[in-house]
């Protein structure tokens, strides 16, 4: 496969719409992998123009008058990222290996077991082995609404949001992977089938591999089989905690992350037998043969969601066999990596557990992580108090509701237009205050625009005050300031003093608490099945707790959480207090140097 060589044991997943939009230009030259969101082509175009001007490059604007503007904007931006990051790496390779250079920095950031690092430390020139970090892209499959002409006509299906983004990536020079999240989209997967770059060619190369972000094994197998029937291989399953993550949350049916990782570890050797016959049939139907390099290949399995210490990372890689670990939310506090206005970053640094909550703000109807007191939240409430609820909806990326438009162009439930119509339908002649009766309407927020504003402010493209939405995971509560890149990478690898306090609960303990909270909102047979699944997973964790803790891993907090949450599940009145999961393990309070 045409893929960047993995030189680090971690990668930085996609965050929001704008937080990692240019992260590749910040750290790919240092060997660190990142993911670019393809959700907002308006933002992509403005960021592209900014970087073209910064580097003195010619830039032909791609305006909305072009019927294929979305795809062309994405192609142009990814081509630019590819060009600039390639140039950056070439410059590093040409540098001397001495303190103060980016080459020195590249090597110092590498894990200590890196062959490239070991060769440099022996005095050898390993410049040729220095590789760019993977530059992948993300498409959220649920965001695939139709697009419309200025005259109100519906465009052909190929111009829908996700398919235009797919086409833009496929046409680009960037040889990264496509990360698909949020489940099956038959129409999108059908469009992928028509693009050669997602199929293994006659030389055995997949130019643009596919990564599936999944929450459990069942979802992974359903999606990978669906794609295999279309001749598309999955290069990696990227497992994300259903609740202990940033952005949108997709809870499982009570399956906990540790047991899910066990399932993948147990079943992964059987993936070829499940998928190869389907791939072979697709190629045979076209008079071709599946290339031998596709036989018995090992699908990478990675994990992300709530990881916050070197000990937890070792648990994921050494106990569960993960090939790599995604670190997301902590990098929101690393200005060298993510784009954000300083006011929002300061709010994140100061945020405690009580400031981070799961909301109903997303117009997609999926629960969404939020920061209490964000400028976006303040902006929305101010508009309600001013009698002008809802957003002007400048981009319409989540305009999918037809409740009041019939066969016409849908509107977004966070828009001023929808909220005015909905309030009128509820019998309100004028917008009422925000209370229990109106919360279901008012809580929908303009996340597609506000999630991108951080990038505009962070790059100085916009200097006026703009509302910024941010969607960190609960893990953020244990990181309390801005960090240098070296600090965060050393923390990830357990080099020197860790950045989080010893009492920080284990990632599995936090997720367990969140799942029991979720269970309390269920009823009937669904609640009973969910509880049984949780209890089964907790039994697996009790076995895990018999093992020694890794350095930097608060495994004792998982033991305490199991007792506390077990009592809650059995209705014995145990408290939800964070103290249930904060017990410190003395074997995990420091990192080895």
How confident is the model over 123-146, as pLDDT tens digits? Answer: 999 999 999 999 999 999 999 999
Residue 498 near residue 310, CB atoms below 8 Å = yes
305 closest CA partner among 237, 247, 223: 247
Expressed in angstroms, the distance from the first to the final Cα of the chain is 36
589 pLDDT above the threshold of 90: no
How confident is the model over 340-372, as pLDDT tens digits? Answer: 999 999 999 999 999 999 999 999 999 999 999
Q: Band of the pLDDT at 254, cuts 50, 70, 90?
A: very high
DSSP character for 592?
A: -
Sign for the CA dihedral angle at 227, 229, 232, 238 comes to positive
Across the chain, what does the average pLDDT equal? 94
Gap between the Cα atoms of 342 and 333, Å rounded: 10
Q: Band of the pLDDT at 6, cuts 50, 70, 90?
A: confident
CB atoms within 10 A of CB 429: 7
* CB burial string 529-547: b at 16+ within 10 A, e below: ebbebbeebbeebeebbee
Report the 3 state secondary structure along 114-137: CHHHHHHHCCCCCHHHCCCCCEEE
> Would strands 210-214 and 356-359 be described as parallel, antiparallel, or unpaired?
unpaired
273 pLDDT above the threshold of 80: yes
How confident is the model over 491-508, as pLDDT tens digits? Answer: 999 999 999 999 999 999
How many alpha carbons lie under 13 Å from residue 458 in its C-beta half-sphere?
Answer: 26
pLDDT value for 429: 94
How confident is the model over 464-485, as pLDDT tens digits? Answer: 999 999 999 999 999 999 999 9
Gap between the Cα atoms of 308 and 368, Å rounded: 20
259 closest CA partner among 521, 508, 554: 508
pLDDT more than 70, % of the chain? 95
Tell me the angle at which helices 257-267 and 507-519 cross, rounded to the nearest 10 degrees: 110
585 pLDDT above the threshold of 60: no
Residue 18 φ/ψ, nearest 5 degrees: -115, -15
pLDDT value for 582: 45
Least confident of 186-200, 421-435, 571-585: 571-585
pLDDT value for 577: 46
579 pLDDT above the threshold of 50: no
pLDDT more than 90, % of the chain? 94
Query: Judging by beta carbons within 10 Å of its beta carbon (0-12, 13-18, 19+), is residue 112 exposed, middle or buried?
Result: exposed
Question: How far is residue 8 from each of residues 61, 112, 493, 551, 576, measured CA to CA in Å?
Answer: 36, 10, 10, 20, 37
591 pLDDT above the threshold of 60: no
30 pLDDT above the threshold of 60: yes
573 pLDDT above the threshold of 80: no
Gap between the Cα atoms of 228 and 283, Å rounded: 10
CB atoms within 10 A of CB 69: 20
Domain boundaries, the chain: 331-500, 502-588
Per-residue pLDDT, averaged over 291-316, amounts to 97
How confident is the model over 411-443, as pLDDT tens digits? Answer: 999 999 999 999 999 999 999 999 998 999 999
2 pLDDT above the threshold of 70: no
């Amino acid at each position: 496969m045409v893929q960047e060589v993995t030189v680090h044991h971690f990668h930085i997943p996609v965050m929001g719409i704008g937080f990692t939009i240019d992260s590749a230009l910040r750290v790919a030259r240092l060997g660190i992998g990142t993911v670019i969101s393809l959700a907002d082509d308006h933002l992509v175009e403005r960021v592209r123009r900014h970087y073209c001007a910064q580097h003195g490059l010619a830039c032909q604007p791609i305006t909305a008058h072009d019927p294929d503007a979305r795809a062309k904007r994405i192609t142009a931006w990814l081509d630019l990222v590819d060009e600039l990051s390639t140039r950056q790496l070439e410059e590093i390779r040409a540098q001397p290996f001495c303190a103060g250079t980016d080459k020195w920095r590249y090597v110092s950031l590498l894990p200590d077991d890196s062959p490239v690092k070991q060769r440099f430390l022996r005095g050898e020139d390993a410049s040729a082995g220095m590789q760019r970090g993977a530059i992948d892209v993300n498409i959220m499959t649920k965001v695939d609404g139709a697009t419309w002409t200025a005259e109100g006509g519906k465009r052909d299906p190929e111009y829908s949001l996700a398919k235009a983004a797919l086409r833009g990536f496929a046409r680009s020079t960037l040889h990264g992977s496509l990360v698909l999240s949020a489940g099956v989209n038959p129409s999108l997967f059908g469009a992928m089938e028509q693009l050669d770059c997602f199929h293994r060619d006659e030389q055995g190369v997949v130019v643009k591999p596919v990564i599936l972000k999944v929450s459990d094994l069942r979802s992974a197998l359903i999606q990978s089989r669906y794609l295999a029937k279309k001749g598309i291989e999955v290069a990696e399953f990227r497992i994300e905690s259903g609740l202990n993550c940033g952005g949108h949350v997709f809870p499982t049916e009570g399956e906990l992350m540790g047991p899910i990782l066990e399932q993948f570890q147990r079943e992964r050797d059987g993936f070829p037998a499940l998928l190869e016959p389907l791939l072979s049939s697709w190629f045979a139907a076209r008079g071709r043969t599946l290339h031998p390099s596709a036989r018995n290949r090992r699908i990478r399995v990675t994990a992300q969601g709530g990881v916050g210490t070197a000990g937890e990372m070792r648990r994921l890689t050494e106990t569960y066999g993960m090939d790599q670990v995604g670190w997301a939310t902590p990098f929101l506090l690393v200005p060298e990596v993510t784009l954000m206005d300083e006011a929002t970053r300061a709010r994140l640094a100061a945020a405690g557990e009580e400031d981070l909550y799961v909301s109903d703000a997303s117009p997609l109807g999926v629960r969404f992580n939020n920061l209490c007191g964000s400028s976006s939240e303040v902006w929305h409430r101010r508009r309600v108090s001013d009698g002008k609820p809802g957003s002007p909806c400048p981009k319409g990326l989540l305009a999918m509701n037809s409740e009041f438009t019939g066969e016409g162009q849908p509107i977004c439930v966070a828009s001023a237009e929808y909220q005015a119509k909905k309030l009128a339908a509820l019998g309100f002649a004028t917008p009422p205050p925000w209370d229990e009766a109106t919360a279901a309407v008012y809580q929908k927020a303009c996340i597609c625009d506000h999630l991108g504003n951080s990038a505009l402010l962070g790059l100085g493209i916009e200097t006026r005050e703009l509302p910024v939405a941010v969607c960190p995971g609960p893990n953020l509560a244990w990181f309390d300031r801005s960090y240098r890149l070296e600090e965060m990478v050393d923390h990830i690898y357990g080099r020197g003093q860790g950045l989080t306090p010893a009492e920080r609960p284990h990632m599995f303990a936090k997720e367990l608490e969140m799942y029991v909270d979720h269970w309390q909102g269920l009823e009937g047979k669904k609640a009973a099945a969910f509880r049984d699944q949780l209890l089964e997973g907790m039994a697996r964790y009790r076995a895990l707790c018999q093992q020694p803790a890794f350095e930097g891993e608060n495994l004792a907090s998982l033991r305490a959480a199991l007792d506390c949450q077990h009592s809650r599940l059995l209705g014995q009145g145990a408290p939800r207090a964070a103290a249930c999961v904060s017990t410190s393990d003395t074997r995990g309070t420091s990192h080895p140097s």
